[in-house]
A and B are shown apart, each in its own frame.
Chain A
Amino acid sequence: MTEALTDIELTVEKGDIFGVIGHSGAGKSTLLRCVNLLERPTSGKVVVNGKEMTALREKELQQERRRIGMIFQHFNLLSTATVTDNIAFPLKLAKWRAPQIKERVDELLELVGLRDHAAKYPSQLSGGQKQRVGIARALATNPDVLLCDEATSALDPQTTQSILQLLQDINEKLGITILLITHEMHVIRSICNRVAVMDGGRIVERGDVLDVFLKPQHPVTREFVGQVSERPDGGFASARHDGTVLRIQFVGESTYEPVLYEVVRETDATFAILQGTVSRMKNTPYGQLLVELRGTSGDTDRIVRRLRERGVDVEVMS
């Protein structure tokens, strides 16, 4: 029997939006299910909120699961229950009293913006609305952790953005730690601050999203990064270049500064932009440029040095 997961050692800090990315079959779904023990690992420990989940008895585990919300790709709502009853379900399980349940459900409907749909059944809702019900249900018992199983994979791009926005708001307002899995790099780029890349049941790369995004090491990571950015390395070969080609990466506020212009102006060299992107990742701006410098080799060396002094990442391509 082959193992679904091997050598997994992963820590998610409180308040993180931690993304796990991988192709289908990479083991990310199994990893997520190990957190609330929907799948029990054959060896090793799972600790959530300081509690060792793997050591709990059935009843204790059920209690502890109420502190971990979960949302799903296909929403998994009760088709026979209204929006209100779906959201109330975990509260009834936790034996809340009816007036408190009503109050809490109203609060949650407000939070996810479904006030006008309280009496509808899931079949009467759009995908995005169903996921909002799923989120409200997951948050009902005030969990500390929210697990998201491909939560936006069944939604169209616009709805995906609104759900991601909602998740980010929840993280910021309620301080809930979010662990999500996805196969879409743009999800990671939009809301995550940390990321782990999985391949063949192992974590092959991990770190701050920005670092992983700008300097991907593993081939699988490169491939995912390629989904969302034209990494400036190909394509310039055909360009007519007599000069030196540089790959330049800006991160943070320097992205919007005229750094390149100022540095080049100190010399007699000129430059041409061959390729480039300026965008933001979560809330951090970044830029990636491929430029060709035309000037003496002395000028070129000076420019590279000066750029590095100003904190810009420079790689000499040719």
Chain B
Amino acid sequence: MTFENVRWDEVWQATKDTLIMLGFSLLFTVLIGLALGVLLFITSRGQLLQNGFIYRVLSVIVNITRSVPFVILMISIFPLTKWLVGTSIGVKGAIPPLVIAAAPFFARLVEAALREVDRGVIEAAQAMGASKWTIVWRVLLREARTGIIAAITVTAVTLVSYTAMSGVVGGGGLGDLAIRYGYQRFQPDVMIVTVVLLIVLVQLLQSAGDQLVRKYSRR
């Protein structure tokens, strides 16, 4: 098999686009999702700021964004995307929908990771006179750190597959290249190159995540 159709400069550009989309969307997903996940956890039953109303409202919002298919979500929030980053197309225009799709997903993973924290440790911190804020920062997030790292890894991998859809808005990236050349123009060589690159990227993300989990695990 020859790779005659592969234009390496395009592949390189697509790789950069994927990494940029992944990097920025992961950054904002983690920031927003972490806050949302903590909020979900502490407002849930029996926790520090138990509040059934806030919990249910957040929960419904999270569930809605998680049930809408990514492409549809992306299109339906065009005005919001334009307001946020000035455009709804290209790499820039792809980032807000990626974040909005991934943050609620990540928030649920964070909520689950926080639930794994020993209830007794929270109680001990309360008994020592720790404020709620201190408990969140110095106890909950600290004790749940390996769970949160694992959640970031899963989310990053999910974002890689979401970026493939960004071609719809001209976002570019490896997934888009695979669809345009490999699928629409019957150029299997391009498809193979891009798919291999995606596999390598996902492998790298997963093993980096696993290594961090091992490094910070104290069990």
Contacts and interface: CB of A to CB of B under 8 A. Distances in A.
B218 A121 contact: yes
Contacts of B138: 89
Contact of B130 (A62, A79, A123): A62
A70 B129 contact: no
A90 B121 contact: no
Contacts of A74: 118, 120
Contacts of A76: 118, 120-121, 123-124
B53 interface: no
Interface string A30-42: 0000001010000
Contact of A123 (B118, B123, B126, B219): B219
A55 interface: no
A23 interface: no
A146 to B, nearest CB: 11
Contacts of B145: 80
Interface string A136-168: 010001000001000000000000000000000
A66 B120 contact: no
A291 interface: no
B127 A38 contact: yes
Interface in B15-34: none
A65 B129 contact: yes
A188 to B, nearest CB: 23
**How big is the B interface, by class?**
20 to 34
B121 A36 contact: no
A26 interface: no
A104 B218 CA distance: 25
A66 B127 CA distance: 8
A63 B131 CA distance: 10
Most chain B C-beta atoms within 10 Å of own C-beta, residue among A78, A81, A90, A122: A78
B interface SS class: helix
B151 to A, nearest CB: 16
**How big is the A interface, by class?**
20 to 34
Contacts, number: 65
Contact of B131 (A62, A89, A141): A62
A65 B143 contact: no
B128 A65 contact: yes
A79 B218 CA distance: 6
Interface in B115-160: 118, 120-121, 123-131, 134, 138-139, 142-143, 145
Contacts of A75: 120
Contacts of B127: 36, 38, 65, 68, 70, 147
Contacts of A137: 128
A77 B121 contact: yes
Contacts of A316: none
Given A78-B121, A93-B134, A121-B218, A38 B126 contact: yes
Given A62-B129, A76-B118, A123-B218, A38 B123 contact: yes
Given A63-B129, A123-B219, A78 B143 contact: yes
B142 A78 contact: yes
B83 interface: no
Interface of A: 36, 38, 61-66, 68, 70, 72, 74-81, 89-90, 93-94, 121-123, 137, 141, 147
11 contacts: A62-B129, A66-B129, A76-B124, A78-B121, A78-B142, A78-B143, A80-B143, A80-B145, A80-B218, A93-B134, A137-B128
